[in-house]
């Protein structure tokens, strides 16, 4: 689990240092404060080899990585390099460097492996770091086939299947079970809502679709790190406590670190109340903001989250 992250010269961040991260982290901030950039930095830290695919992971439009995504170095100055650092309890030091071709300034004493060679930028990381599995649940990228695969994995173990159905049943008591069905050898997900036949998941409503997507990703893929973009999207506020309860239980049981984004105060309060009711308050808010042209941020612990809620201080 990442305990702290340092980002230098990466997209809008000149320098961002976040410490005291939690098992579950809710990233908040106005538009254009660097939420997606933070998720991209964490992705590269977790698995540097994803750098070449980063452009398609969280943003629409794609493009050539060098041209579209790695122009931050020229913006930050001629002789700078991107440095990403992370500390994880009991784990090997993990550093990522991105610089213009052959212009790496400092390896900070690390033995390095090369992981990216683009047209104008190269990337290196600490040699021998474990590649962590990262998955993202995005509202923008719905890929039904990928979701079917994740769902199939999620219900492979009876314990996971029961947890998924229990969570969905807590949100909508009509839901009795969720299964895979197929037409012309093409699988799809169906839901038993008490009708004569099960209905396709796509007809069960956006909220249920979203919940199945989130928990299939967590239970099925069992990533080391999971991103959930705009977690409240499509989910009624009354269901948010159940969603957070599920995320808390699954992430703890499977050792997944979660980074979710939101623009919803109700979502933030629901998350806080969920974790406050648990034995361990393993939840943090990462608040991003802009200082002039520069993105910056901080981690808020329980004391400050409670203070913000009590004083109705805007965190989003």
**315 is an interface residue for other proteins by CB under 8 A:** yes
CB of 6 to other proteins, least distance (A): 17
CB of 266 to other proteins, least distance (A): 18
Q: Which residues pair with 13 in a beta bridge?
A: 10, 295
**289 is an interface residue for other proteins by CB under 8 A:** yes
Closer to other proteins by Cβ: residue 217 or 296: 296
CB of 120 to other proteins, least distance (A): 33
CB-based contacts of 50, cutoff 8 Å, min separation 6 = 43, 44, 57, 134
**310 is an interface residue for other proteins by CB under 8 A:** yes
CB of 313 to other proteins, least distance (A): 5
Residue 237: phi and psi, rounded to 5, are -60, -30
**265 is an interface residue for other proteins by CB under 8 A:** no
- The stretch near other proteins (CB under 8 A) out of 157-165, 247-255, 268-276, 305-313 is 305-313
- The stretch near other proteins (CB under 8 A) out of 70-78, 117-125, 195-203, 298-306 is 298-306
CB of 314 to other proteins, least distance (A): 8
The span from the CA of 33 to the CA of 295, in Å, is 6
**300 is an interface residue for other proteins by CB under 8 A:** yes
Which of 159, 279, 293, 312 is in the footprint of other proteins by CB under 8 A? 312
Which of 161, 181, 273, 306 is in the footprint of other proteins by CB under 8 A? 306
Which of 59, 265, 290, 316 is in the footprint of other proteins by CB under 8 A? 290
**304 is an interface residue for other proteins by CB under 8 A:** yes
**291 is an interface residue for other proteins by CB under 8 A:** yes
- The stretch near other proteins (CB under 8 A) out of 38-46, 92-100, 135-143, 307-315 is 307-315
Contact residues toward other proteins (CB under 8 A) are 287, 289-292, 296, 298, 300, 303-304, 306-308, 310-315
């Amino acid at each position: 689990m990442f305990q702290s992250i340092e980002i230098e010269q990466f997209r809008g961040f000149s320098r961002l240092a976040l410490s005291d991260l939690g098992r579950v982290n809710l990233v908040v901030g106005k538009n254009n404060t660097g939420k997606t950039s933070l998720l991209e930095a964490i992705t590269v830290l977790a698995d540097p080899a994803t750098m070449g695919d980063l452009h398609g992971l969280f943003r629409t439009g794609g493009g050539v990585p060098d041209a579209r995504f790695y122009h931050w170095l020229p913006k930050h100055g001629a002789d700078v390099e991107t440095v990403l650092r992370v500390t994880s309890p009991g784990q090997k030091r993990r550093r990522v460097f991105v610089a213009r071709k052959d212009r790496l300034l400092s390896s900070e004493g690390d033995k390095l492996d090369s992981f990216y060679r683009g047209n104008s930028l190269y990337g290196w990381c600490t040699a021998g770091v474990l590649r962590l599995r990262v998955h993202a649940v995005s509202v923008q990228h719905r890929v039904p086939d990928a979701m079917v695969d994740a769902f199939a994995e999620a219900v492979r173990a009876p314990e996971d299947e029961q947890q998924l159905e229990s969570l969905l049943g807590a949100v909508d008591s009509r839901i009795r079970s969720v299964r895979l069905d197929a037409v012309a050898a093409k699988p799809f997900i169906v839901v038993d809502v008490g009708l004569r036949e099960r209905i396709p998941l796509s007809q069960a409503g956006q909220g249920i679709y979203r919940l199945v997507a989130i928990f299939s990703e967590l239970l099925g893929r069992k990533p080391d790190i999971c991103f959930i973009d705009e977690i409240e999207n499509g989910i009624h506020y009354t269901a948010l406590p159940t969603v957070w309860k599920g995320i808390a239980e699954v992430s703890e049981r499977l050792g997944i670190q979660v980074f979710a984004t939101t623009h919803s105060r109700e979502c933030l309060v629901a998350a806080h109340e969920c974790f406050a009711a648990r034995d361990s308050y393993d939840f943090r808010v990462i608040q991003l903001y802009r200082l002039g042209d520069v993105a910056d941020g901080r981690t808020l612990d329980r004391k400050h989250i409670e203070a913000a809620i009590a004083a109705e201080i805007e965190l989003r």
